[in-house]
Amino acid sequence: MIRFLKAGSIPWLLAHEVRLGWRGMDGKQGEKKEGLSAGKAMLILLIGLALLGLVGGGVGLAFLVSEFPLTASPMAALIATGAMGAILTLMLTHAINASVQALYQRGDLDLLMSSPLKPRVVLTVRLIAIAVVAGLLYYILITPFVLAAWALGQPHWLALYGLIAGLTLIATTLSLGVTMGLFALIGPRRTRVAAQVTAGFVGAAAFLASQIYNFTRPRDDEEGASALAELFQSWAASDAFQDGGWGTWVLRAVLGEPLPLILFLAAGLIVFAVTTTALARRFAENAAAAVGDRAGSKPRRVADRAFAAGLTRVMVQKELRLLARDPQLLSQVLLRLLYLLPLGFILFRNAQSGVGVAFGAGAVVIMAGQLAGSFSWITISAEDSPELLRSAPVQQGRVDRAKLYAALIPAMSLTAVALAGLAVIAPLASVVVLIGCLAASASAGLINIWRQKPAQRRDFQKSRKGSLLVGLAEFLVGALWAAATGLAVAGQIWALLPAALAVGFTLMLRRSPEKIAAAAALS
C-alpha cells in the first residue's frame, strides 16, 4: 500500500510505521519456532477464557442496559464523568511512557530527523501511534458491549467510540506536554526518569482513587454512611450536574446527543493539531538533545581503593552498583509496590482485629515475593554482559547464587521496613511473617534462576509479558505463601496446606542445570 502514497506525507510515514509494527509482532525473522508447549497451550487457554469472559460480560451488560436503559440523572452524570476521568488518567499513564520512548528511543528517529521530512510529519505520526496504542485496550474492552447493545436497539452506545477517540487525543497531547515540559524544566538527563515516575504515579493515583471507598467506609463496628457516598451526593446536588451543567456533557454524549459528542471530538482534534504544529520544532530539538542523555555521567572523584576479593563479593557489588545507578529501573520496581498500599492501609486501620493482622501479614509476604522476583529478574535474566559471564571460568550455578544474594539484599531491606511496622503492632506475628517473607523470596528467586531467559533491563516493564507463565507462577506461589503466613498468624493448622502447595509449585518449575544453561545461552 505504501507505494501508492505520496512519499514524505503523513499517510506514507504512518503506513511505514504500521508495516514495522506489524512485522515486529511476528517476532524476529529466523527465530526458532518451537512447537506448542504445555505453557503456551495454557496461555492460549487463559487468553481464550479472558476473551470469552469479555464477550460474555459485554453481551450480558448490553442485555442489562436494554432492560434498564440509562437515564439522565445527576448521579448518572457524575458517574459517567468520573469514569471518563479515570479512563483518561489510565490512558495518560500509557501515553506518557510512550511519549518518553518517542523522544529517547532512537530506532529510526535519527534517520527520520536527518532526512528532509518536516518535523511536523514525524511528530504527527509518532503521536498517532501513541494515541492508537493508548486507546486500543479500551476499544477492545467496549466492542462486545457496544455491538451487542446496538443489535439490541440501543445504537447511541456507539458514541463510546467517539468518546474514547477524543480521550486518546487529549491524553496523547497532555502526555507530550508533560514530557516536553519536564524536558524544559529539568533537562534531558532527568526527564526520562521523571516522566516515567510521573506516569507511574498517575497510574497508581487512579488505582488508589478506586480504593477510596475502602479507606473511607466505616469500620465494621462503626455506624453511619461512607464519607465518600456523602461527598458524591453533595457533588451530584451541585449545579454542575443539573440539567445543562458542564458535568452532564459526558453523559449526554453517551446518551447519543450529537452536539456534546461532536464538541468532545472537535476539542480532541483541535488540541492535537495545535500541539503537533506548535511543538514540532521543539520536538526535533529535544529529540536531538536527548542523544546527549547517553553521553554518560559526569566524571566522579575517584577513590583509588582496593579491589574486592571473591566471586560472590564482586558479583554482589557489581549488581548493587548497577541497580543504584539505574533510578529509572528502581522507580519501576518501587512503583509496583504502590499497588499494595491499600492493603497496608487496611492493616493499620484494623490493627486491633486478628483478621486485619492476618491480611496485613499476607500483604507483606506478597510484597517480599514481588520485590525478590523483580530484583531476581533484573540480576539474573537482564544481565548486561551474559557472554562475559559465560566465557569466565566459573560454574553458572555459582554465578546464579551470587546474583540471587544480590537480588535479595535490596528486596529484604525494603521488606524490613514493612516488617518493622508490623513488629510494632504484632511482635509475635512479625516473626512468622519474616519466615513467610524469606520463603516467598526464595521461591521467587529460584523460579527466576530456573526459568531465566536473556532479556534487557529496559524490558523490565514487559518482563511479565515476555514470560507470562513464569509471571503467573511467581504470583501464584507468592499468593500461596501469603495465604500460609496469614493462616499461621491466625493460628490455623491449615497454613500447612498452601505452604505445601507453594513448595510443590516452585519445585514443578525446576529445571536441570543443562536446561538452564541452554536457556541462558544466546546461541
Partner 1 sequence: MSSPDVAALELRGLKKVFTRPAVDDLDLTVRAGELYALLGPNGAGKTTTLRMVAGLTQPTAGSIRVFGVDAVADPVAAKRMIAWLPDEPMLYDKLTPMEYLEFVAGLWGVNAKTARKRAQELLEWLALWEHRGERCEGFSRGMKQKAALAGALIHEPRLLMLDEPLTGLDAAMARQVKNVLQEKVRTGATVILTTHILDVAERMADRIGIIQHGRCWPKAVWPN
Is 385 a binder of partner 1 (CB under 8 A)?
yes
How many Cα atoms within 13 Å fall on the side-chain side of residue 2?
12
Using left for φ > 0, alpha for ψ between -120 and 50, and beta otherwise, residue 5 falls in beta
Closer to partner 1 by CB, 19 or 325: give it. Answer: 325
Is 33 a binder of partner 1 (CB under 8 A)?
no
Instruction: Report d(CA 266, CA 171) in Å as an integer.
Output: 14
Mind giving me the DSSP string for 203-246? HHHHHHHHTHHHHHSPPTT--S--HHHHHHHHHHTSGGGSTT-G
Binder to partner 1 among 43, 322, 338, 343 (CB under 8 A)? 322
CB of residue 294 to partner 1, shortest distance in Å: 7
Using left for φ > 0, alpha for ψ between -120 and 50, and beta otherwise, residue 244 falls in left
Site string for partner 1, 211-250 (x = CB under 8 A): ----------------------------------------
Is 20 a binder of partner 1 (CB under 8 A)?
no
Instruction: Report d(CA 410, CA 402) in Å as an integer.
Output: 14
Closer to partner 1 by CB, 310 or 427: give it. Answer: 310
Is 388 a binder of partner 1 (CB under 8 A)?
yes
* Contact set for partner 1, span 415-474 (CB under 8 A): none
Is 110 a binder of partner 1 (CB under 8 A)?
no
CB of residue 448 to partner 1, shortest distance in Å: 20
Is 189 a binder of partner 1 (CB under 8 A)?
no
Is 326 a binder of partner 1 (CB under 8 A)?
yes
Total residues interacting with partner 1, rule: CB under 8 A: 38
Long-range pairs for 392-400: beta carbons < 8 A, 24 or more residues apart: 394/311, 396/513, 396/516, 396/517, 396/520, 397/513, 398/311, 398/312, 399/311, 399/315, 400/449, 400/452, 400/516
Is 512 a binder of partner 1 (CB under 8 A)?
no
Is 325 a binder of partner 1 (CB under 8 A)?
yes
Is 114 a binder of partner 1 (CB under 8 A)?
no
Closer to partner 1 by CB, 347 or 382: give it. Answer: 382
CB of residue 110 to partner 1, shortest distance in Å: 16
Closer to partner 1 by CB, 132 or 291: give it. Answer: 291
CB of residue 321 to partner 1, shortest distance in Å: 6
Nearest to 408 by CA among 435, 368, 358, 381: 368
Mind giving me the DSSP string for 464-492? HHHTHHHHHHHHHHHHHHHHHHHHHHTT-
CB of residue 467 to partner 1, shortest distance in Å: 23
CB of residue 518 to partner 1, shortest distance in Å: 9
Q: First vs last Cα of the chain: how many Å apart? A: 36
By residue count, the chain amounts to: 523
* Contact set for partner 1, span 278-317 (CB under 8 A): 294-297, 299-302, 304, 306-311, 313-315, 317
How many Cα atoms within 13 Å fall on the side-chain side of residue 236?
16
CB of residue 386 to partner 1, shortest distance in Å: 9
Nearest to 199 by CA among 101, 129, 125, 269: 101
CB of residue 249 to partner 1, shortest distance in Å: 49
Cβ atoms within 10 A of the Cβ of 330, count? 18
Summarize as ranges the residues that interact with partner 1 (CB under 8 A): 294-297, 299-302, 304, 306-311, 313-315, 317-318, 321-322, 325-326, 384-385, 387-395, 521-523
